[in-house]
Amino acid sequence: MIYLARPNLSGKEWEYVKKCLDENWISVAGEFIPQFEQKIAEYCQVKYAVATSSGTAALHIAMRVLNIGHQDAVIVPTLTFVASVNAICYVGASPVFIDVYPNTWQINTELIETYLLQHTYYKNGFFYDKDTHKCVKAILAVNTLGNIPDMIAIQRIANKFNLVLIEDAAEALGSCYYQDKAGSIGKVSILSFNGNKVITTGGGGMLLTQQKEISAHAKHLIHQAKVNGREYIHDEIGYNYRLLNILAAIGLAQMEQLPQFLNKKKEIHAFYQQNLVPLGFVPQKLTDGVSSNYWLSTFILPTEVNKQSLLDFLYQNGIEARSLWKPMHTLDMFCKSKYISHDNCAETIYSKAISLPSGTDISLKELQKVVDKIKEFVAKS
């Protein structure tokens, strides 16, 4: 099977993991955790990085450290992975879904402003949703598929409407927005090291911030909010969200290979683009100022090509390709939430987009096979 994106463990993973096993440091303490945090902080150009058990856990902690709760609402694109929205709900806040641009597939900043101007009222420095009366506290900007939304516009809107910017950079390690690294743009940003990401720890995440108090609070919360000292005293409701040393060891070895991984992702995307654009496949357009990590090469299919039939055909031929996420406003648990859109671009993109095998260990022969099989299918369509 040619997989969508599988871990590429070709560096010092074994060596570092062996060290953990040999020295008996496999759990929530050990030298690799601060080393991995520091490596990510340096790379992303942020002052503080807090390793967590997953990207979802980091998002949950982001909500907590920013004091977002059940009286609040958070603006989020409808085209994202469900974890972004689940984290909003974990703290009792309400998502407000915003449609995306048809070409970049990132949150539509004009629609964010439309929502704030037409659907909220101002009181004591904050903007409240006219229907739910929830305080609109934050924009959760998602760097979808390694692209990054128009952060200049988002930051301007955030300043104008007194909102906090949270950056979900789960998919975007290695991407840049002008001079800024993905993961450094939000007041709080997060990364994921899930198995299919550019670098992986098997499962894991990171919370990034420039602010010492936020980092200290995040560290406290992921340690069950335990007060320093030998007694078991906890001063608020916390979580067991720490990353294990043995996983941080893998993360460190992965970070050492990040430049090669990013080059390979670029080559994969260029290969698909060169072969598939002439067939009418349309790639994601990058937002101005973005250089992408090309996490997953994703294309909109020509009109005559049926998405499900192509996915099935590829699977029968030993190729794992996949659909994008069903837009969040269409999921049962979120369908009553507010959704701001002109023409439902997210649903159009969802109905026609597929992600192709993009793992950094894919060979040229495998890439050629993917393209050949797609050509074979398109010729029959």
Ligand X SMILES: Cc1ncc(COP(=O)(O)O)c(C=O)c1O
Q: Binding residues for ligand X, per CB under 6 A?
A: 54-56, 80-81, 83-84, 142, 168, 170-171, 192, 194, 205
Minimum CB separation from ligand X for residue 142, in Å? Answer: 5
User: What is the DSSP code (8-state) at residue 243?
Assistant: P
Smallest distance from the beta carbon of 81 to ligand X, in angstroms? 4
Least distance between ligand X and beta carbon 157 (Å): 20
Strand runs labelled E in the chain: 48-52, 72-77, 94-98, 120-123, 126-129, 135-142, 164-168, 176-177, 180-181, 188-192, 205-209, 282-283, 290-291, 298-300, 322-323, 338-340, 353-355
Q: Token digits for 231?
A: 């007694």
Query: CA angle at residue 61 from 87 to 92, to 5 degrees?
Result: 45
- Please state the closest distance from residue 93 (CB atom) to ligand X, in A: 16
For the CB of residue 62, give the shortest distance to ligand X in the complex, in Å: 11
Nearer to ligand X, 79 or 374 (CB): 79
Distance in Å, CB of 285 to ligand X, minimum? 19
Q: Which residue lies nearer to ligand X by CB, 81 or 127?
A: 81
Query: Rounded CA gap, 132 and 135, in Å?
Result: 9
37 with 49: CB under 8 angstroms?
yes
Q: Is 82 or 371 the residue whose CB approaches ligand X more closely?
A: 82
Q: Which is nearer to ligand X, 296 or 301 (CB)?
A: 296
Q: What is the closest distance, in whole angstroms, from the C-beta atom of residue 42 to ligand X in the complex?
A: 21
Work out the angle between the directed axes of helices 55-65 and 82-90 (0-180°, nearest 10).
Answer: 40
332's tokens: 């049962």
Q: For residues 166 and 142, what is the distance between their CA atoms, to the nearest angstrom?
A: 9
Nearer to ligand X, 206 or 249 (CB): 206
- Taking the least distance from each CB to ligand X, the nearer of 199 and 367 is 199
CB 292 within 8 A of CB 286: yes
Q: State which residue, 28 or 279, has the beta carbon closest to ligand X.
A: 28
Beta strands in 171-324 (DSSP E): 176-177, 180-181, 188-192, 205-209, 282-283, 290-291, 298-300, 322-323
Q: Which is nearer to ligand X, 46 or 88 (CB)?
A: 88
**Closest alpha carbon to 112 in 127, 91, 125:** 127
Q: Is 238:225 a contact under the CB 8 Å cutoff? A: yes
* Least distance (Å) between residue 206 CB and ligand X: 10
On whether the CB atoms of residues 349 and 79 are closer than 8 A, the answer is: yes
Nearest residue relative to ligand X (C-beta):
55
Task: Using alpha carbons only, give the angle 86, 89, 91 rounded to the nearest 5 degrees.
Answer: 120
* Nearer CB in complex with ligand X: 55/359: 55
Report the nearest approach of ligand X to the CB of residue 241 (Å). 11
